[in-house]
């Protein structure tokens, strides 16, 4: 991400190039990677996957507590939904997966595939709800469902799950293809995120953006870890869950706020702040978990 920021400053990474690479990664690269990972999961053990339940419960708990906090702080009604969405909506599908692969290799993306699928759907539903409630975005349930069904990430994971459950043998080229896609697309996506950051926007950052940043990078991950540990989640599962839920705010949150005619400047500032500071908070949090031997063996 730092390299992407530097290349953008030097003029070597332009906005059109960033947009094209991001679209390619989101529509083709990442769905293909998730397809490969989901196709290799043993779903006969899904009933014991407590880390999935921990991720869902932690997300819902974050939404409830962030909503109460926002009311207690007296945030303007039009900003409450933006704050709550930033508190719970991590960039798990891009940065989270990249971190999981960095920590655990191909095993990381295999463990992350199902949480990403489940939480991506949940994030979209919750985001529409909180923004509708505070901004009156007017998105219908049918429109929400259509958006989820057309999501390339959901399509890729669903196809992988269907292949795994069908009992058909996994084609010999699938696993090497997944490794090659990971080696290419994950660095490209991180470069694009770094290049897309607009540091000049931070000049207009207010207190609510910093509060949302603290919730996204500190409060929400802490709630998730405490809850997961209390449910017996340990080792690699805990490590992957932490990396997914400790990631910065997803760029999609900005898109949804703008579409709902909310404060796009605030949403953009939160994305930039959390992306920059997550390099410190995620590293520190994962290091602490590693010291106490709670996140399993690294790749």
From the list 168, 210, 258, 272, the residue with the least C-alpha distance to 83 is: 210
Q: What is the CATH number of domain 2-291?
A: 1.20.1530.20
Contact present, 109 and 100 (Cβ < 8 Å)? yes
Scan for tokens 């043993």, then name that residue: 42
- Residue pLDDT, tens place only, 133-142: 888 655 556 6
Domain ranges of the chain: 2-291
**How do the pLDDT tens digits run along the chain, 299 residues long?**
778 878 888 888 887 887 787 777 777 877 787 787 777 766 666 655 789 999 999 999 999 999 999 999 999 998 999 999 999 999 987 889 889 988 888 788 888 888 887 888 788 778 878 887 888 655 556 666 666 677 777 788 788 888 888 888 777 777 777 777 767 777 777 777 677 666 666 666 678 999 999 999 999 999 999 999 999 898 899 999 999 999 999 877 876 787 677 887 788 788 888 988 998 999 999 999 999 888 876 76
From the list 62, 114, 107, the residue with the least C-alpha distance to 92 is: 114
- Residue pLDDT, tens place only, 162-203: 888 888 877 777 777 777 776 777 777 777 767 766 666 666
């Amino acid at each position: 991400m730092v390299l992407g920021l530097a290349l953008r400053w030097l003029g070597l990474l332009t906005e059109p190039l960033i947009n094209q690479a991001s679209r390619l990664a989101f529509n083709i690269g990442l769905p293909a990677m998730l397809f490969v990972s989901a196709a290799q999961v043993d779903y006969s053990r899904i009933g014991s996957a407590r880390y999935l339940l921990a991720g869902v419960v932690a997300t819902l708990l974050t939404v409830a507590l962030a909503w109460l906090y926002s009311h207690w702080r007296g945030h303007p009604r039009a900003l409450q939904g933006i704050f709550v969405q930033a508190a719970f909506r991590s960039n798990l599908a891009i940065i989270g997966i990249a971190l999981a692969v960095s920590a655990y290799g191909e095993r990381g993306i295999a463990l992350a595939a199902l949480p990403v699928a489940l939480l991506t759907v949940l994030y979209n539903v919750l985001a529409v709800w909180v923004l509708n409630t505070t901004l009156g975005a007017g998105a219908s349930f049918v429109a929400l469902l259509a958006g989820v069904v057309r999501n390339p990430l959901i399509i890729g994971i669903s196809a992988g799950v269907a292949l795994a459950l069908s009992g058909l043998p996994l084609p010999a080229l699938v696993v090497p293809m997944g490794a090659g896609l990971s080696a290419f697309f994950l660095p490209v996506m991180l470069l694009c995120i770094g290049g897309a950051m607009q540091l000049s926007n931070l000049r207009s950052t207010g207190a609510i953006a910093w509060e949302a940043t603290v919730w996204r990078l500190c409060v929400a991950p802490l709630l998730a870890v405490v809850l997961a540990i209390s449910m017996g989640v340990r080792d690699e599962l805990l490590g992957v869950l932490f990396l997914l839920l400790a990631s910065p705010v997803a760029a999609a949150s900005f898109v949804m706020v703008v579409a709902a005619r909310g404060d796009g400047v605030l949403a953009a500032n939160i994305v930039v702040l959390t992306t920059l500071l997550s390099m410190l908070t995620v590293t520190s949090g994962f290091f602490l978990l590693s010291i106490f031997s709670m996140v399993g063996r690294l790749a």
